Amino acid sequence: MSTVCVHGLGYIGLPTAAMLANYDHKVYGYDADPEVTEQLGNGEIHIDEPGLRAFVTQAINSGQLEITNEVVSAKYHIICVPTPFDEKEKEADLGYIEKAGEAIVPVLREGDTVILESTVPPGTTVEVLQPILESSDHSAGADFALVHCPETVLPGNIINELQQNNRIIGGVNGVSTQAAVRLYDSFVEGRIRTTSDATTAEFVKLIQNTFRDTNIALANEIARLSRDYGIDSREAIDLANEHPRVDILQPGPGVGGHCLPIDPWFLGQNSDELDLIANARKVNDGMIGYIVDILRDELGTLNGKKVAILGVAYKGNVGDTRMSPGLELARQLQGTTNEPVTIADGGEMDVDVSIHDPQVTDSTLNLESLEAVISDADAVVLMTDHDEFEDIEPSTLIHSMGDPIMVDTKGMLDVDEWNNSVVNLIRI
């Protein structure tokens, strides 16, 4: 078994470190944030992920995972640091990648392998990370191996997917690629695919998420078209998918998380060819404004109204609120974005927004019970497909609202049941 230093103990780095340790590698988990390492050193897990606490505790108690405040020498260095998105410039901030590379330089030895797992624009491994590492006077591909191996896990199922998902590995040369294959082969049960260069591996991860984003955009545009014709978009999509060569995804309130809203822009960071993909991003980002328009159409005005939002996690059955459509709807209704939504007469909206989410535990959010948020609400918007929301019945709204309006952006509610009630159900 090998020694591994994992750089960055976030959503990907910490589970990866624990996984390697539980497969008998000696792992050093490093994070530049001393608060993170202190919490982990005290047995506190700072990430909400099913099964992760026990998994990390097992790795630490076995002695195979050691949390450290400094970068140490190791046969393998795995970089799992964030790549923040500059919304204005539509570009990745590669500062954390650069700092990780600089931290490795003093301990880099001949025969070591450096693996970049962070999601990055194509060319980052060779054009950004490699020159930094080679300032050690070691040459990538000759003295040390340099590889990109993107993570592809889904929050809520990270531990399982680290093992079961196929992995794509691309090194700066064949020797580099095979060095990484040896490490991942020790715990990956899915198929390991290799490519002849690191840039292709970077590109593949981005187009995987871009495929999903653009196809969701098609479904969202179909939903908007359907409303103009008085058609139920989900029924139309279900019927269209009867064709053996058609597989349209489902519409919704846009996309969230740290991948789908961001990765398509990374693709175009070093290219001028982004066109369809950029327009798909515009469609998906525009769904919040579309929901606001629906509310305005149904309520006549939004001034002085109360809107209840059900779900501020970015996806169902997790507590992750990164790039959350539900939170973005709350911001737009409250006019707290950089470009506040305005009502028809041009004045800023005065909307009482209340939020409920049974999965989110973020203490900075003013979360309320289901009963509290729908009490005297003028409209309810279901934004996340948590299992708990399937049990909501029309009577719940009828007893708490005057003229109940429910906007179901996830297609969770039984159409027949709700249409047979006095609730005005609007589905996206």
Continuous segment of H or E residues that includes residue 157: none
Continuous segment of H or E residues that includes residue 331: helix 325-334
Phi, psi of 349 (to 5 degrees): -75, 145
From the candidates 5, 259, 305, 410, give the one annotated as an active-site residue: 259
Q: Which amino acid is at 81?
A: V
Are the C-beta atoms of 31 and 37 separated by less than 8 Å? yes
Is 80 assigned a catalytic role? no
Find tokens 């996340």 and name the residue: 384
Q: Could you give the CA distance from residue 233 to residue 246 in angstroms, rounded to a whole number?
A: 15
Q: Which two tokens stand for residue 383?
A: 């934004």
- CA distances, 315 to each of 154, 257, 261 (Å): 10, 8, 13
In sequence order, what DSSP letters do the residues of 80-147 get, joined into one string?
Answer: -----EETTTTEE--HHHHHHHHHHGGG--TT-EEEE-S---TTHIIIIIHHHHGGGSPPBTTTBEEE
List all residues 6 or more positions away from 119 whose beta carbon is below 8 Å from its beta carbon.
83, 150, 151, 205, 206, 259, 262, 263, 266
For residue 378, how many C-alpha atoms fall within 13 Å in the half-sphere facing its CB? 17
- CA distances, 289 to each of 284, 286, 306, 339, 353 (Å): 10, 5, 17, 11, 15
Is 259 assigned a catalytic role? yes
Packing angle of the helix pair 287-299, 276-285 (nearest 10 deg): 40
Locate all alpha helices (DSSP H) within 7-94, ordered by sequence. 13-22, 34-41, 52-61
From the candidates 205, 305, 315, 410, give the one annotated as an active-site residue: 205
Q: Which two tokens stand for residue 408?
A: 């179901």
Residue 45 C-alpha from the chain's centroid: 19
Q: Which two tokens stand for residue 331?
A: 């911001």
Tally of CB atoms within 10 A around 390? 10
Active site residue ranges: 205, 259
